[in-house]
Amino acid sequence: TLGHHHQIDHPAFRAEMLRIKGERVARERTLDVFDPYSGQRVGTVPLASVEDVRDALQFAASYRSKLTRYERSQILERAGALLRERTEAASDLISLESGLSKQDSRYEIGRVADVLKFAALEALRDDGQSFSCDLTPHGKARRVFTQREPLAGVIVAITPFNHPMNQVAHKIAPAIATNNRVVLKPSEKVPLSAYFLADILYEAGLPAPMLQVLTGDPREIADELITNPAVELVTFTGGVAIGKHIAAKAGYRRVVLELGGNDPLIVLDDADVELAASLAVQGSYKNSGQRCTAVKRMLVQKSIAERFTEQVVEKTLAWSYGDPFDESNQMGTVIDEPAAQLFEARVNEAVAQGARLLAGNKRSGALYSPTVVDCVDPSMTLVREETFGPVSPIITFDTIDDAIRISNGTAFGLSSGLCTYRTDAIARFVNELRVGTVNVWEVPGYRIELTPFGGIKDSGLGYKEGVQEAMKSFTNLKTFSLPWE
Ligand code: NAD
């Protein structure tokens, strides 16, 4: 979608500008942003050049924040309050550029406010430690202390499309709380929400060098963002292929990667089937199924599979979808038409290989209906790869060993959900699933914004996010010792 399109623009059309060097700057070349539902153009954003990237990094690198903990906390508090006041405008913008339903985008604003709240609280908390040194026969009358320092270099943050504002908040807020400087490149599919959040932070008092936002063509500017000597850490959320490319490019600098997922909801034969099916459809269809931690596979023990599948189909058919701005719709569109076409093709392929379509697989533009397929084999592309949309593939299993093997049988290792009351089974899954999170009687995506979150295997290198962990990865721990007990 580079260049200009000749069609009617949306009434809320906005021509955005870069936020670099404390200024709003336009550029000759721009990128169009479309409403996936109507196809109307909702905005343009400038295409930053490599020179713009260098300027932004230089501006950030030459600044050292002297904000106190109190001041940082206040900025984050004020930003949270401003955002809550503007919930409708912010949620409208998310729905407009992403096609997410108003129900989903309002929920997202609540999450962003939580991120700001937790970062404001954590900014006040000093997790420095103190160790006595007289612990062994060769001990001394000394004490070792730790304290955290912001990075000397700049943090580059690169974010995906699926939570247009919350992914951005999870990178920026912990950076502010730790007195760092960030250059953000949001997803070119949903850049407007990122500019909106940045403006709220400036209004709340954030010094301009602590946050700059630029949009552009990744093929042109991504390498500079990753390899410029001013950059000390790259924090990336997005797909596996680009994440691994960044890791390879980054060389001797820190990389925090939150990549794809292929999360199971595992249902054992003792489960409350109705409750399990409710969790299954919520996990599968909320946010149009576009969550790294969406339920992407439903693993069900054979003896209850029929009852569970009936319930999932019933709840799927009742899941309303369509116009994102129709408040009664639970689900809007997916991100764009090619994404919807991909889900359709994968479901068709699975059906051709013996799976059974029980509901959905209807597409119109970027609208794709909630879809259920059973008789799915773990080898099918639909479940072997990450299918990043509202599809519920049902796979049956006999034993707990089988469930663990199937669950661990993809390249991913992000999160999981488990429906059983058996403590022996719970213990086995918690210990044996190769994932970052196990949620018992919850969707894999359940979290609070404060707590450690992130995956292993192809889902990430094991460094977690969540406000508290992000603050750790955005700081250097200084150790010092003093000559007293
Ligand atoms: P994507 O990987 O296509 O894009 C993510 C970002 O990378 C965008 O900002 C894009 O502009 C940028 N990019 C593109 N090419 C680049 C390059 N060569 N170098 C550096 N950056 C480049 O991902 P997406 O389609 O926007 O998001 C969906 C993916 O994100 C899914 O796989 C999903 O599972 C994953 N995700 C993971 C988490 C998590 O926390 N683990 C959370 C949300 C989404």
> Whose CA is closest to 438, among 240, 265, 238, 239?
265
Percentage of the chain exceeding pLDDT 70 = 99
Spacing, Cα 277 to ligand 1 middle (Å): 30
Residues within 6 Å of ligand 1 by CB? 158-162, 185, 187-188, 218, 222, 237-239, 242, 245-246, 258-261, 292, 386, 388, 414, 455, 459
Which of the four pLDDT bands, split at 50, 70 and 90, describes residue 1? very low
Name the residue with tokens 């090619």: 338
pLDDT per position as a tens digit, 54-71: 999 999 999 999 999 999
| Average pLDDT along the chain | 97
Spacing, Cα 143 to ligand 1 middle (Å): 45
Q: Which of ligand 1's atoms lies nearest the C-alpha of 185? A: 9
Q: How far is Cα 473 from Cα 330, in angstroms, rounded to an integer?
A: 36
Q: Which of ligand 1's atoms lies nearest the C-alpha of 163? A: 43
Instruction: Check pLDDT > 70 for residue 5.
Output: no
Instruction: Check pLDDT > 60 for residue 252.
Output: yes
Pocket test for ligand 1, best of 161, 227, 246, 336 (most atoms within 8 A of CB): 161
Q: Which of ligand 1's atoms lies nearest the C-alpha of 187? A: 9
Other Cβ atoms less than 10 A from the Cβ of 286: the count is 23
pLDDT per position as a tens digit, 143-200: 999 999 999 999 999 999 999 999 999 999 999 999 999 999 999 999 999 999 999 9
ipTM > 0.90 (yes/no): yes
Q: Whose CA is nearest to atom 21 of ligand 1?
A: 222
Q: How many residues does the chain have?
A: 485
pLDDT per position as a tens digit, 206-246: 999 999 999 999 999 999 999 999 999 999 999 999 999 99
Q: Whose CA is nearest to atom 10 of ligand 1?
A: 187
Q: How far is Cα 470 from Cα 463, in angstroms, rounded to an integer?
A: 9
Instruction: Check pLDDT > 70 for residue 426.
Output: yes
Spacing, Cα 165 to ligand 1 middle (Å): 14
User: 299-321: b or e for each residue (b if 16 or more CB lie within 10 Å)?
Assistant: bbbeebbeebbebbbebbeebeb
Spacing, Cα 162 to ligand 1 middle (Å): 9
Instruction: Check pLDDT > 50 for residue 4.
Output: no
pLDDT at 2: 42
Spacing, Cα 111 to ligand 1 middle (Å): 20
Instruction: Check pLDDT > 70 for residue 6.
Output: no
Q: Whose CA is nearest to atom 20 of ligand 1?
A: 222
Q: How far is CA 27 from CA 30, 48, 178, 216, 446, in A?
A: 7, 7, 32, 10, 41
Q: Please give the average per-residue pLDDT across 249-270, as a whole number.
A: 98
pLDDT at 7: 65
Are the C-beta atoms of 340 and 390 separated by less than 8 Å? no
Pocket test for ligand 1, best of 2, 47, 100, 162 (most atoms within 8 A of CB): 162
Q: Which of ligand 1's atoms lies nearest the C-alpha of 459? A: 41
Q: Which of ligand 1's atoms lies nearest the C-alpha of 186? A: 9
Pocket test for ligand 1, best of 100, 159, 259, 291 (most atoms within 8 A of CB): 259
Spacing, Cα 136 to ligand 1 middle (Å): 49
pLDDT per position as a tens digit, 433-443: 999 999 999 99
Instruction: Tell me how many degrees the CA angle 152-200-86 measures, rounded to the nearest 5.
Output: 150
pLDDT at 286: 98
Instruction: Check pLDDT > 60 for residue 354.
Output: yes
Spacing, Cα 239 to ligand 1 middle (Å): 4
Name the residue with tokens 């599968």: 284
Q: How far is Cα 391 from Cα 359, in angstroms, rounded to an integer?
A: 10
Pocket test for ligand 1, best of 292, 295, 456 (most atoms within 8 A of CB): 292
User: 125-138: b or e for each residue (b if 16 or more CB lie within 10 Å)?
Assistant: eeeeeeeebeeeee
Q: How far is Cα 477 from Cα 148, in angstroms, rounded to an integer?
A: 5
Spacing, Cα 259 to ligand 1 middle (Å): 7
Other Cβ atoms less than 10 A from the Cβ of 278: the count is 15
H helices of 99-177, in order, are 102-123, 166-177
| Catalytically annotated residues | 258, 292
Instruction: Check pLDDT > 80 for residue 117.
Output: yes
Computed on alpha carbons and rounded to an integer, the radius of gyration of the chain in Å comes to 23
Q: Whose CA is nearest to atom 39 of ligand 1?
A: 258
pLDDT at 334: 98
pLDDT per position as a tens digit, 436-484: 999 999 999 999 999 999 999 999 999 999 999 999 999 999 999 999 9
pLDDT at 485: 83
Instruction: Check pLDDT > 70 for residue 3.
Output: no
